[in-house]
Amino acid sequence: MFHNINIQHGESSYFQIYNYIKEIIENGMLPMGSKLPSTREMASIMKVSRNTVMKVYEMLEDNALVYTEKGKGTFVSRIKINKNKEWHVDWTKKINDFGNKAEELDIMKHEQLYKRGMISFRSIAPDESLFDVEELKRAFLNRIALEGEKILNYGYARGYKYLIDYLMKYMEEKGVSTKGKEILITNGFTEGFDIILSSLTNRGDKILCENPTHNTAIKLMKLYGLDIVGVDMDEKGLDLAHLDEKLSEDIKLAYVIPSYHNPTGTVMSFEGREILYNKLKEYKIPIIEDGFNEELQHLGTHIAPLAAISGEENSIIYIGSLSKILFPGMRIGWIFADKKLIDICESVKRSRNIHTSFLDQAILYEYMNSGAFEKYVKKVRNIYKEKYELAKSLSEKYIPNVYVLGNGGLYIFVKLKDIDSRELLDRCLKRGVIFTPGDIFYTDGGGRDTLRIGFSRNSLEEINEGIKIIGEEASYIKGR
């Protein structure tokens, strides 16, 4: 029976042989106590080296399948039927509330409507065909040459020093005071926001935010059991009158996206930011500011972040991320805040996953520091601008809307005129077009008449065709 084995090319032969012999023992084809061929004989039968057979026999012995009697040989020790099927754990019953909620809120999983060939406006990820892979390679090779093995071994939870220094300077250039502040590198914005909420909040705490807002942030706020206080937005941005209504002493934190808001794309004016900051300061509410990389912005506004407006005060927690235009797959972001808070966040980060990939941090640092980042931005800015202008003008023209928002960036936001966007989506799917219905961005079940169109990865032809289809279907629904 040992002749029957068919050794597959590519897989370690000794594992195959081990598993083969193990199986025939377990199937009872080799009775307990029976003697196996000598290692020399077995090697000859199976046409492998004697060393390989010795290794197999050793492993069989380690796993108590055979035993060796010195001078006598190797014998089968027992028949084990290992196809246990007696205990089946129903894992769905073992998941706790947190796990169940995470699954329930996992939109990505539940909305698998995309099919190949469709024109998809769902993603707001950058267009990878524009990535400067050559420069990335250069960045990698340079860093590896300079620091080789160091960045491949364990690093520090706080992050890679050169990248931190670079980002501190980056914040300073935005007009932010770095006095008493520090940086923690995280796996993107998502991890940053997650760490902040887990360090500062308790279930039931009130958190104020824009309505609509970033859906991933909503998911996390719900996962942490927070009481979400949504402040309406209109075409100009945050509705400051509604903010006044919603402000109260017992709000723990605020979360806002002043620049290139997701999903509306609006940019809060300088005056608006000052008013917002001062109002929240009056109620002693610290603010989590979702930063945004402004370099891409072809419309050129460089309005100071709240973190700058606050001067030397320390109530702003700024979360930055380069995923939106750089290399999302590398998952690099940062929290910039008061050093005492960063200190705690560092400990939380360390307990969760030790640190963010040092290799990735090093590559990203080199890429940005070498000037490749600036070159890339210059290259893509106009390409995205063209797509943005086309998407905006087509939407305004063809989709029955109350308004179309977007100040640049990789998406626009449409408020429909008396049309349910989920119904619109259903019709568009049948015509091969998919977009993100806006209700997922609302904290209160609203926004059924809104949608976000992400065009960064679509050709101009697709933008043209896709938006016209959306327009036709929307007009049809409206006209009934």
Binders of a second copy in range 7-66 (CB under 8 A): 11-12, 15, 18-19, 22, 58-59, 62-64
Site for a second copy in 261-300 (CB under 8 A): 269-271, 274, 281, 284, 286, 300
Site for a second copy in 133-192 (CB under 8 A): 133, 136-137, 140-141, 144, 148-155, 157, 169, 173, 175, 186-188, 190-191
Give 354 or 402: the residue with its C-beta nearer to a second copy: 354
| Residue with token string 């594992």 | 15
Give 345 or 399: the residue with its C-beta nearer to a second copy: 345
Give 29 or 95: the residue with its C-beta nearer to a second copy: 95
Shortest approach of a second copy to residue 380 CB, angstroms?
Answer: 13
> CA 239, CA 159: separation in Å to the nearest integer?
38
Torsion of CA 59, 65, 69, 75, to 10 degrees: -120
> CA 114, CA 295: separation in Å to the nearest integer?
31
> Contact, 214 vs 264, CB < 8 A?
no
Shortest approach of a second copy to residue 474 CB, angstroms?
Answer: 29
Q: Residue type at 155? A: G
Shortest approach of a second copy to residue 92 CB, angstroms?
Answer: 5
Stretch that binds a second copy, among 213-221, 239-247, 255-263, 413-421 (CB under 8 A): 213-221
Query: Which residues fall within 8 angstroms of residue 8, CB to CB, at 6 or more apart?
Result: 16
Give 69 or 282: the residue with its C-beta nearer to a second copy: 282
> CA 468, CA 158: separation in Å to the nearest integer?
48
Stretch that binds a second copy, among 127-135, 256-264, 431-439, 443-451 (CB under 8 A): 127-135
Which residue among 301, 393, 459, 475 contacts a second copy (CB under 8 A)? 301
Tokens representing 166? Answer: 């670079």
Give 32 or 152: the residue with its C-beta nearer to a second copy: 152
Which residue among 201, 465, 468, 477 contacts a second copy (CB under 8 A)? 201
DSSP letters along 224-288, please? TT-EEEEEEEETTEE-HHHHHHH--TTEEEEEE--SS-TTT-----HHHHHHHHHHHHHTT--EE
Site for a second copy in 409-468 (CB under 8 A): none
Per rule CB under 8 A, is residue 232 in the interface with a second copy? no
C-alpha count within 13 angstroms, C-beta hemisphere, residue 204: 0
